[in-house]
């Protein structure tokens, strides 16, 4: 028997428009929920970042949230934890990682109620480094998913590897990158795929983990939720037990623990060449990408300004400005602004600029907080320098953006 565990990642950035959000819900989210409802054997994990949960509710699309909750109540899906606004966790300070993970859990707990019982964790963009493990374990998660390109041992199909995390450990489930990408890029069909899984059985139970964006189905690939996913569910049901659809958490119960390992820093968009070149997060912070350099320079100033505001806010005005800066920092760290600046081949000036605007609002409110506090004058001067440096980086970034757009 081959156990097939799937994970679907539902996410839209905080800068997404209502029109696109509704389009994605109509083309992908609602059809996906219907397909799962129709197949009693369907089992999978769903990651919904808290920012999307809130947006669905705020934009009159709460039936998507309700539908996912109903499927979880039926035992057909399990939720996973993540970072609320989809930040690249290895690239932000530990305190902000922990806040993002906690905020995501609190948001989804309110929305999904008792069906929110995640055992596993999905790092945004599957960006992994050892630094993220302690916050994940501290939040109570039992396993995390990591891209297969990060696997440092023979490919595990009958044991579940472990990673050290703080004083304990986590199970690690490696995404089968090849099989996942064949689905995501329409390079397979349901019967062939399920047949391939069935052929893995060599007298010993095996497992396969696939993971991809939920928007693959119906939004990126029209009717793919019917042509592949529904057909795969049906093929698995007809396989007479050769292929068993399971929740990822069930793999921890069905298969013995494997060795404790150290996966490589990576993402689900990293190649072996990227990793060998010391470029584990190529779509979000690539060496030689000047736009990325400026974006992360501004992020650094915003974090330093916000941290200073939190230390020195001691008046009503400074506390209020500090609260606004802190509230806006988390959405300002969302990953899409960096992804759209990667030029591999993604490039979208409006999406990059929307992220820049969020960051500069953080810098302005944090600076206002410090200036209206009783912080010593040298601290205020230093924060003024930070704002000036962030403003100059913004000007450079805008010259890069709009200059490049004129020449394209």
Q: Which domains does the chain have, with CATH numbers?
A: 2-276 (3.20.110.20), 290-406 (1.20.120)
In this predicted model, what pLDDT tens digit does every residue of 344-355 receive, in sequence order? Answer: 999 999 999 999
Give this prediction's pTM.
0.96
pLDDT of 238 higher than 70: yes
Quick one: DSSP state of residue 130?
G
pLDDT of 83 higher than 80: yes
pLDDT of 28 higher than 60: yes
Number of Cβ atoms within 10 Å of the Cβ of 247: 21
In this predicted model, what pLDDT tens digit does every residue of 387-397 receive, in sequence order? Answer: 999 999 999 99
Number of Cβ atoms within 10 Å of the Cβ of 257: 12
Q: What is the pLDDT of residue 207?
A: 98
Instruction: Report the pLDDT averaged over residues 41-56.
Output: 98
**Whole-angstrom distance, CA of residue 104 vs CA of residue 83:** 6
**Whole-angstrom distance, CA of residue 191 vs CA of residue 249:** 25
pLDDT of 35 higher than 80: yes
Alpha-carbon torsion (114, 120, 126, 131), positive or negative = positive
**Whole-angstrom distance, CA of residue 283 vs CA of residue 289:** 10
In this predicted model, what pLDDT tens digit does every residue of 85-104 receive, in sequence order? Answer: 999 999 999 999 999 999 99
Mean pLDDT of the chain: 97
Q: What is the pLDDT of residue 24?
A: 98
Q: What is the pLDDT of residue 405?
A: 53
CB 335 within 8 A of CB 125: yes
Q: What is the pLDDT of residue 404?
A: 58
What are the structure tokens assigned to 307, written together? Answer: 């941290």
pLDDT of 252 higher than 90: yes
In this predicted model, what pLDDT tens digit does every residue of 275-320 receive, in sequence order? Answer: 999 999 999 999 999 999 999 999 999 999 999 999 999 999 999 9
**Whole-angstrom distance, CA of residue 87 vs CA of residue 84:** 8
CA atoms within 13 A on the CB side of 8: 22
Pairing of strands 168-175, 160-165: antiparallel
Split at pLDDT 50, 70, 90, the class of 197 is very high
pLDDT of 203 higher than 90: no
């Amino acid at each position: 028997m081959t156990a097939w565990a799937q994970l679907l990642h539902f996410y839209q950035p905080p800068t997404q428009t209502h029109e696109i959000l509704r389009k994605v819900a109509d083309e992908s989210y609602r059809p996906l929920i219907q397909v799962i409802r129709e197949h009693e054997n369907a089992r999978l994990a769903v990651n919904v970042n808290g920012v999307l949960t809130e947006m669905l509710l705020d934009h009159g699309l709460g039936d998507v949230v309700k539908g996912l909750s109903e499927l979880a109540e039926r035992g057909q899906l399990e939720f996973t934890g993540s970072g609320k606004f989809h930040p690249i966790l290895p690239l932000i300070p530990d305190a902000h990682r922990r806040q993002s993970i906690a905020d995501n859990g609190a948001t989804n707990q309110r929305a999904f109620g008792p069906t929110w019982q995640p055992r596993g964790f999905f790092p945004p963009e599957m960006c992994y480094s050892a630094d993220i493990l302690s916050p994940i374990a501290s939040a109570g998660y039992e396993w995390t998913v990591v891209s297969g390109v990060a696997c440092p041992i023979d490919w595990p199909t009958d044991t579940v590897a472990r990673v050290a995390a703080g004083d304990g450990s986590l199970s690690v489930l490696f995404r089968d990158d090849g099989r996942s990408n064949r689905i995501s890029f329409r390079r397979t069909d349901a019967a062939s795929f399920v047949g391939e899984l069935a052929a893995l059985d060599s007298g010993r139970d095996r497992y396969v983990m696939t993971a991809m964006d939920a928007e693959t189905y119906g939004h990126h690939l029209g009717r793919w939720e019917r042509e592949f996913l529904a057909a795969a569910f049906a093929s698995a049901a007809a396989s007479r037990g050769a292929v068993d659809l399971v929740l990822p958490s069930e793999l921890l119960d069905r298969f013995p623990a494997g060795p404790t390992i150290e996966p490589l820093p990576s993402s689900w968009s990293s190649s072996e060449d990227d990793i060998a070149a010391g470029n584990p997060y190529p779509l979000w912070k690539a060496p030689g990408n000047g736009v990325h350099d400026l974006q992360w320079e501004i992020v650094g100033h915003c974090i330093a300004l916000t941290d200073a505001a939190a230390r020195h806010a001691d008046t009503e005005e400074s506390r209020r400005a500090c609260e606004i800066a802190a509230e806006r920092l988390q959405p300002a760290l969302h990953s899409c602004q960096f992804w759209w600046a990667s030029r591999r081949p993604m490039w979208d000036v409006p999406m990059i600029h929307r992220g820049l605007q969020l960051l500069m609002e953080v810098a302005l409110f944090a600076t206002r907080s410090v200036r209206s506090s009783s912080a010593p004058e040298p601290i205020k001067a230093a924060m003024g320098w930070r704002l000036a440096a962030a403003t100059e980086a913004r000007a450079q970034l805008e010259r890069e953006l709009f200059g490049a757009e004129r020449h394209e």
